[in-house]
């Protein structure tokens, strides 16, 4: 397929490289032009503007947040520059409200819209092992299925309303954050009693919590390996905020989401913005003043 890709951060660049590897003709654009160079070396065409990347059968985007998506697609006029019938596949984790707005704006212009947020860190994106949540019109999804299958190991269909994929992604990230916070607090407790985080988490992630999320983030916490960040604290803070907003919209209380938001805000206030969100373990340790005890 002839496809464009917008948003070449750690996730987007890895996903785009897999489209090239699958034999698709790729045109890329990024606000920071330097990010396009590795893909250009692999054979991608580099567009000088976002609208030039949107000239194919489909356009994939992986932008950071609501603001970036709005600036490029709505305020920047990209939707108006796209040809009728083009399928826009939006991989970004965005708010439910913006997802609904985007679906309506695409429909007004005769454009197809598929929400396809992903679960997986950059290493999984590079290995094409992402789990991709998919929602949109079935015909549009089928048109871009070859692209999605080139980037992920499994597609999870969630219906025709695009925002369903987004709320599932938001809820999933909320669960991940809750898992990280539980390990952060539990390891602070064990460390205070002389049991190392590594020993405790080895037990837990080999028995009661032998699941990828606990094992992966447990290893980061045990090793205090918060750089380079696979998913930064500001992104986690953003996503917990999206969960709270989605809950407020439908009057669904999320009391623990408020706890997580405050913990992440505490981390950001301490200067941890460049760290992985597993660095919530540092917040729990600081609260217990563990460094003063050890």
> Active-site positions?
169
Q: What radius of gyration do the chain's Cα atoms show?
A: 20
| 104, 136, 209 from 90: Cα distances, Å | 14, 11, 32
Please report, for the chain, how many H helices and E strands are present, in that order: 14, 9
Phi, psi (5° rounding) for residue 59? -130, 120
Distance CA 69, CA 47 (A): 18
Q: CA triplet 50, 52, 58: central angle to 5 degrees?
A: 85
| 36, 76, 103 from 79: Cα distances, Å | 22, 8, 11
């Amino acid at each position: 397929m002839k496809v464009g890709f917008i948003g070449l951060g750690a996730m987007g660049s890895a996903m785009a490289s897999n489209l090239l590897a699958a034999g698709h003709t790729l045109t890329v654009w990024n606000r920071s032009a330097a990010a396009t160079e590795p893909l250009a070396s692999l054979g991608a065409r580099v567009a000088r503007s976002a609208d030039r990347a949107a000239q194919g059968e489909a356009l994939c985007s992986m932008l950071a947040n609501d603001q970036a998506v709005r600036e490029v697609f709505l305020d920047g006029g990209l939707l108006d520059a796209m040809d009728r019938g083009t399928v826009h596949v939006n991989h970004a984790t965005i708010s439910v409200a913006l997802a609904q707005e985007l679906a309506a704006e695409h429909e007004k212009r005769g454009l197809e819209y598929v929400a396809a947020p992903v679960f997986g860190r950059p290493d999984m994106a590079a290995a094409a092992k992402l789990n991709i949540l998919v929602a949109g019109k079935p015909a549009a999804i089928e048109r871009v299925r070859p692209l999605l299958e080139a980037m992920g190991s499994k597609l999870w269909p969630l219906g025709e309303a695009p925002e369903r994929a987004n709320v599932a992604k938001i809820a999933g990230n909320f669960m991940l954050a809750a898992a990280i916070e539980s390990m952060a607090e539990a390891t602070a407790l064990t460390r205070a009693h002389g049991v190392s985080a590594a020993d405790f988490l080895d037990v837990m992630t080999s028995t009661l919590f032998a699941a990828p999320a606990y094992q992966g983030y447990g290893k980061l916490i045990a090793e205090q390996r918060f750089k380079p960040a696979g998913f930064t604290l500001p992104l986690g803070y953003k996503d917990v905020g999206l969960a709270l907003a989605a809950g407020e919209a439908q009057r669904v209380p999320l009391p623990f989401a408020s706890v997580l938001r405050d913990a992440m805000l505490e981390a950001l206030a301490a200067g941890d913005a460049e760290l992985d969100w597993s660095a919530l373990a540092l917040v729990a340790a600081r609260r217990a003043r563990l460094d003063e005890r050890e």
